Structure 1
Amino acid sequence: LYFVLLMKSHLQSYPCPLQINSFWNFGFLLGIAILLQIITGIFLGLHYTSDLNSAY
């Protein structure tokens, strides 16, 4: 309960610039895209096999 109240008070009074435009949203989406690429790249790198018989 304390955590919920803390998050609610933080989000209601979050210091945010008044001149937010679409570039902020675009940058956030680019950040999520690069994180997904890094995570899936690590996952694929861990499960890579060079054997031709077990590749497919």
Structure 2
Amino acid sequence: MASTLVRPRSGKVIAGVCAALADRFGLSRGLMRVAFVLFGLFGVGELVYIILWIMIPKAP
């Protein structure tokens, strides 16, 4: 499990939010992406994604 939460510069699909969360918590990136899609079906996933995109720094 990674010790910091940063958006990767490679291996990302849109902004790297799902990749950052998956790396931080030791989960599959694909599983995290599916979870965000399902979360988005309830109308709040997109908002949470945008907020996290702003809050999580990019990897150096």
Shared fold (TM-score greater than 0.5)?
A: no
Structure showing greater relative contact order (alpha-carbon pairs closer than 8 Å, 6 or more residues apart) = 2
- Structure with greater proportional helix content: 1
TM-score (structure 2 length as normaliser): 0.28
TM-score (structure 1 length as normaliser): 0.30
Larger Rg: 1
